């Protein structure tokens, strides 16, 4: 049974309201931090906890905080990345919708630790109803002196500002987000300089996502060592997973790191198995930007060990046989899913959302999408499969931000593991053209069950 450090109270009626949140232990960690600890103490506990960024990269949070330029006299800023736009990921939205005060409390503690007096929440513009929820919660925090001047009589001050984005996926990249926050086009910046030295308004800035900042609350409440005791190795604490696709129980689940992938998919506590009793075919475990893995490699590593829900276990074997946990957007495909259609769908998204600043991404996505469309519609040519692999390789690692990698990895991995489906689309156009939606080819059951046959 996993711990619920973030979601323990999420189903309590009225938990959005300050009084209900407070009655169930809310803002106790903030009081502890502001009244009993120094800023250095808070940073130390976060570092000891082993907390890693929950937005996708998994970079150690305490280490990221340590880079912040504290010598300058310029103001410092904390920016909450609430621009959750990754296809298959919806756990930050879930937190903001149901526990807005948890995020605010995390911002208060983190701002104190970083010496920040002005904090921004950059929220996805499509989350209009959530913007209203956050605004109300922020107003309540001001009313009860957890925000504003002289918070709780400590002499500390903090203001939180809400800034809705304009629906651009690229603004989930932290420097593009900062550009947008400054009123400019949301294009990623070339680094260095890094935001820790020149971020918002050319001032030292830390950007963390919603789940990361919310996790600071239980860390201060229980202590960094206790938090680090949960999980496996460098994957400490708990993680919110957005589970969707062909499963019986889609939703947001909080898991302990180290849970076997098979248990997560088939346990009644979590996904409840594959819908309609079908076989598992593939999984995209970290949102659309990470490599897809076939069933056998998703459930087991090449060493025959169980694949675990950790950053390290997911990545074992590199991209040939591994993937990434990423943002935790866990998309499950059953035996009838068409991997060509899925890859085309992802590539349509990346073509549309490319900011166009880097030619490999701008031109590469615009090249891959029509090729995949032709293959899906039974109009492709055999040489176009290798052409897709070549285009993806030329995008990967050649762009200012990781968006190019995110566009390339789904295509390269789908062809690596499901090349026979692409070939079937090309070799049997008469079948493909007569099918409106869904699968046109399935792996044999033996292939689904035995990872060795997938390599």
Q: Mean pLDDT across the stretch 1-24?
A: 92
Residue at 453 is within a domain = no
Are residues 299 and 362 both part of a single domain? no
pLDDT at 455 over 80: no
- What local confidence, expressed as pLDDT, does residue 454 receive? 32
Are residues 49 and 173 both part of a single domain? yes
Residue at 454 is within a domain = no
* Among 229, 259, 278, residue at a domain's last position: 229
Residue at 6 is within a domain = no
* Phi, psi for 77 (deg, rounded to 5): -130, 150
Tally of structural domains, the chain: 3
pLDDT at 397 over 90: yes
* Among 229, 253, 273, residue at a domain's last position: 229
- Where b means 16+ CB within 10 Å and e means fewer, 149-174 reads eebeeeebebebeebbbeebbbbbbb
For the chain, what percent of residues have pLDDT higher than 90?
A: 88
- What is the C-alpha to C-alpha distance for residues 112 and 126, in angstroms, rounded to an integer? 30
CATH code for the domain of 106: 3.40.50.11540
Residue 378 or 63, more confident: 63
Residue at 72 is within a domain = yes
CATH code for the domain of 326: 3.10.20.600
Q: Binning pLDDT at 50, 70 and 90, where does residue 446 land?
A: very low
Are residues 254 and 224 both part of a single domain? no
CB under 8 Å to 98, separation ≥6 — which residues? 10, 15, 16
* Phi, psi for 285 (deg, rounded to 5): -85, -15
CATH code for the domain of 389: 1.20.1440.230
Residue at 443 is within a domain = no
Are residues 141 and 252 both part of a single domain? no
What is the number of alpha carbons within 13 Å of residue 274 lying toward its C-beta?
15
Are residues 74 and 215 both part of a single domain? yes
Q: What's the mean pLDDT when you consider all of the chain? A: 92
Are residues 36 and 173 both part of a single domain? yes
For the chain, what percent of residues have pLDDT higher than 70?
A: 95
Are residues 26 and 161 both part of a single domain? yes
* Among 179, 199, 229, residue at a domain's last position: 229
Are residues 217 and 99 both part of a single domain? yes
Interval 170-223: pLDDT, tens: 999 999 999 999 999 999 999 999 999 999 999 999 999 999 999 999 999 999
Residue at 455 is within a domain = no
Are residues 367 and 320 both part of a single domain? no
Residue at 418 is within a domain = yes
Residue at 31 is within a domain = yes
**Domain residue limits at 156:** 18-229
- Where b means 16+ CB within 10 Å and e means fewer, 240-277 reads bbbbbbbbeebebbbbbbbbbbbebbbeeebbbbbeee
Query: Which tokens is 149 given?
Result: 């001047």
- What is the C-alpha to C-alpha distance for residues 99 and 136, in angstroms, rounded to an integer? 12
Are residues 208 and 98 both part of a single domain? yes
Are residues 278 and 361 both part of a single domain? no
- What local confidence, expressed as pLDDT, does residue 303 receive? 86
Are residues 188 and 267 both part of a single domain? no
């Amino acid at each position: 049974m996993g711990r619920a450090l973030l979601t323990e109270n999420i189903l309590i009626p009225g938990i959005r309201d300050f009084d209900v949140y407070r009655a169930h232990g809310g803002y106790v960690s903030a009081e502890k931090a502001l009244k009993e600890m120094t800023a250095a103490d808070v940073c130390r506990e976060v570092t000891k906890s082993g907390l890693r960024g929950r937005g996708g990269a998994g970079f150690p949070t305490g280490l990221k905080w340590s880079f912040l330029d504290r010598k300058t006299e310029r103001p410092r800023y904390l920016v909450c990345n609430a621009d959750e736009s990754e296809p298959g990921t919806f756990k930050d939205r879930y937190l903001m919708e149901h526990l807005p005060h948890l995020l605010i409390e995390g911002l208060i503690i983190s701002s104190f630790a970083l010496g920040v007096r002005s904090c921004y929440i950059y929220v996805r513009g499509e989350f209009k109803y959530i913007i209203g929820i956050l605004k109300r919660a922020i107003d309540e925090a001001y009313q009860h002196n957890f925000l504003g001047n002289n918070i709780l009589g400590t002499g500390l001050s903090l203001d939180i500002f809400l800034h809705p984005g304009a629906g651009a996926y690229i603004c989930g990249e932290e420097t593009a987000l900062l550009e947008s926050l400054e009123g400019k086009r949301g294009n990623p910046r070339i680094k260095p300089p890094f935001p820790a030295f020149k971020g918002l308004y050319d001032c030292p800035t830390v950007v963390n996502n919603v789940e990361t900042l919310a996790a600071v609350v239980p860390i201060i409440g229980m202590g960094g060592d206790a938090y680090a005791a949960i999980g496996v190795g460098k994957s400490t604490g708990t993680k919110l997973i957005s589970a969707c696709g062909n499963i019986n129980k889609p939703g947001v689940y909080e898991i302990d790191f180290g849970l076997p992938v098979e248990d997560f998919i088939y346990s009644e506590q979590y996904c409840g198995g594959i819908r309609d009793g079908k076989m598992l075919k593939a999984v995209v475990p970290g949102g659309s930007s990470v490599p897809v893995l076939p069933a056998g490699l998703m459930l087991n590593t090449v060493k025959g060990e169980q694949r675990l829900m950790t950053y390290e276990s997911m990545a074992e074997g590199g991209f040939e046989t591994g993937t990434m946990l990423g943002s935790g957007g866990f998309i499950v495909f059953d035996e009838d899913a068409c991997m060509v259609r899925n890859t085309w769908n992802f590539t349509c998204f990346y073509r549309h959302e490319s900011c166009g600043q880097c030619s490999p991404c701008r031109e590469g996505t615009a090249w891959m999408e029509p090729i995949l469309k032709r293959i899906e519609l039974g109009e492709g040519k055999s040489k176009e499969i290798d052409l897709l692999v070549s285009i993806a390789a030329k995008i990967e690692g050649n762009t200012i931000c990781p968006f190019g990698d995110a566009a390339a990895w789904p295509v390269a991995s789908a062809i690596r593991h499901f090349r026979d489906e692409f070939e079937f689309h090309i070799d049997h156009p008469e079948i493909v053209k007569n099918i409106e939606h869904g699968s046109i080819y399935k792996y044999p059951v033996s292939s689904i069950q035995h990872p060795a046959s997938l390599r």
